[in-house]
Chains A and B, each alone.
Chain A
Amino acid sequence: MSAAPVKPPVKAVVIGASAGAVQALLTILPALPASFALPVLVVVHVPPDRDNVLVSLLQAKCRLTVKEAEDKEPLVGGTVFFAPSDYHLLVETDGTLAISTDEPVNYSRPSIDVLFESAADAFGEALVGVVLTGANHDGAAGLRAVTQAGGTAIVEDPNFAHSRAMPLAALEASPEAAIMTIDAIASYLSSLGTTR
């Protein structure tokens, strides 16, 4: 990204991950400081019929509040919201959350594209979208929507990712995205939250 006009302060972060997600999120989310002031929305592909064990695992390890998103819940800073398994998670333009049982997108429900596209709509330039490890193509169209709306796109370095297909697909769709290792993503996000 060149010396573009200064963007407005970031208002939200969306993260999508699939195969290898647990290890990646266990590095990124516990690194966020207690003072982190933004809402973080996460879609992870988990088998339906299984409760999101990741939420309770991360609750124990994070300084932020980690919870499963609820329908119509208002977004709150310093909180990590996970999409419930077998539901899509969307952001409304009034800053509340919505869930849906619409058909799977990219064979996935929740789908990263659905979250990212609705969040791009709601937050425009003030959004950071992060696509992490995964073995499918979900998130590519979503990250494209983030950059088209003027937001910031970040992709995990495919050379170091557990599964490279998803980062590669995201980079193909959004060549302007910043490529970072998991550790770099963790420190970049941490700096976002504290410099506000």
Chain B
Amino acid sequence: MGKVVALAGNPNVGKSTLFNELTGLKQHTGNWTGKTVESARGSYTYEGCRYEIVDLPGCYSLLSHSEEEEIARDYICFRQPDIVVVVCDATCLERSLCLALQVLEVAERVVVCVNLMDEAEKKKIYVRLNQLSEELGVPTVGITAREGRGLKGLFQIIQKLESENIGKRNAVTYPPVIERAIERLEPAVRWELGEEIDTHWICARLLDADNGLLKALENFTNKSFEQGDRIWEALADVKRELEEDGYTEELVEDTIAETFVRRSEEICGRVIQIGKENYDRRDRILDGIFASRLTGIPVMLLLLFLIFWLTICGANVPSQFLMKSFAKLEEILLTGAVNTGVPKSIYEPVIFGMYHVTSWVVAVMLPPMSIFFPLFTLLEDFGYLSRAAYNLDRCFQSCRACGKQALTMCMGFGCNAAGVTGCRIIDSPRERLIAVITNSFVPCNGRFPTILAMISLFIVGTDEGILSSFLSAVVLAGVIVLGIGVTLLVSAGLSRTILKGMPSSFALELPPYRMPQIGKVLIRSVFDRTLFVLGRAVVSAAPAGLLIWILANSSVGEISILEYCAQFLDPFARLMGLDGVILLAFILGLPANEIVLPIAAMLYLSKGTLMNLGEGVRLWEILVQNGWTASTAVSTILFSLMHWPCATTCQTIYKETKSMKWTLISILVPAVTGIVFCMGFTGLVHLCTKIIYL
């Protein structure tokens, strides 16, 4: 077991980048605040020594009360890693240092690691590292994690630090009133806790009215602190005395917090030299394009459209190619199986069930995903996502929700389960629940191909050409905008009914724009995200294909079980403009949304209308033969956009909310919304046709 090195730091200072550089792991990074919400682990070997690296969630301070901050605080304080590396941002050292000072207060062996040195240099912000080291009393090192520069130096220092004997140092001195109060409180704390933890620190936190800390202390010591105990009594006494001096609880809190800010201001005044005053001119000009009154929203819509258009244009040809190749391979497999005498009862389920669904999922999902993901990641790295949240915040505010919900929705594009986990960046529990419940209104990449297929098959037409792909992109962007609209509508509804409340305060950081590292992004998206998600899809598609084929083709009496189910669902599905088969496919697609369409196709095929699979039956023919029209396709799109979240997402929701009730609500809300929308649309279509025929 190697030494444990914990990485702490503000959000978006490049902790995850450093972590990835060190461990070779692929923790997802992105240029926005709150990217890492769980602490990741990995290992790094330097000169034969193995270190275990822990990437703590980003936090602004150890004083606050949000979940990530408590995780970081408890880890540093109670799990006592061997070394804490505080990662700072050279371009805004003042703020990063506040956290560093707080860490210095509690941890013994600390290295202050100033990241983004290259960016600072470009902005002509110079950090005198030696002087910083003197001011803080700990070693400092400047790095550029993106390029892996300075990592060796960091570990040289870590190695040296290990063997050194560290005395106590005073990172900050509180104003006399507070120091006196701490002194008064310390004996009682020492009595209860011994010397194991830094009592000065504990006392300061107790004065800080930090109730979460008492709980953490109880867990740590296995003692329970109740009213009437020594600590409680001493604390009450000290607080009373402070109040007599005019120091209310609030003022004490402020004074403590301000101590760190002022100390950091003081240090930075000495160690930082600014070359030019308008160092962020470029960022502000870009904000003028991406987040201004005039262009903010149009540019956002344009970007959305552009991403879809590039995805559709680029995906068409490889998708067709894969389809054809898979169909050819299927023929070969089929003849091979027949010629070698494999019994029909084996090759049929394997080829028509397993192979068919899997190959469909691959052919339809792989090309758009391997284009969409990199493009999206480029925007993310560039720093655009926070701007999107900034542009849209007003809408969320009037729905009494949090603007950061837009960020969680962006994550939902990749995977709703990830989006739900990402909701932790929202501080208010009420607003977080709203974001969790509405996250599935953003189509994840599993539903994306279904929607895309519907659009190109029934609405725009499948001709290859600029115009049709242009139209497809417009329609797709429209579907997404509809999803955003429904998200807002439902959020507003929830805020006025079961999650009543007013919007809480909101502070969203707008990070500097960064030139994305295109090569890295490409490699990362293809290998990490695309292949991972595809692997997941295949893992669920293959067994599901097999199982459902068997179910669809083994009959009890006259008809198969699935057909019976489909018939049972049919009347209800018709009301929604669907049919029993596709609704059943949506239900069977619960494990993974990717398999909805292939399941539907298989169910139609098993009815025996078409069996010449070997010639590569086109999906469109299957669907049309079963009575599909453009209106069925629209209903399918609507229901694909709004129905229950997939099983993984449901599981994640349960994990995040720890409540069956909210999980159920998260399933019901989108499902009911989808049913209402589909029925409304179908009703409208019927009405229109009636009027036309009149």
A and B associate: no
Which positions in B face A, CB cutoff 8 Å? none
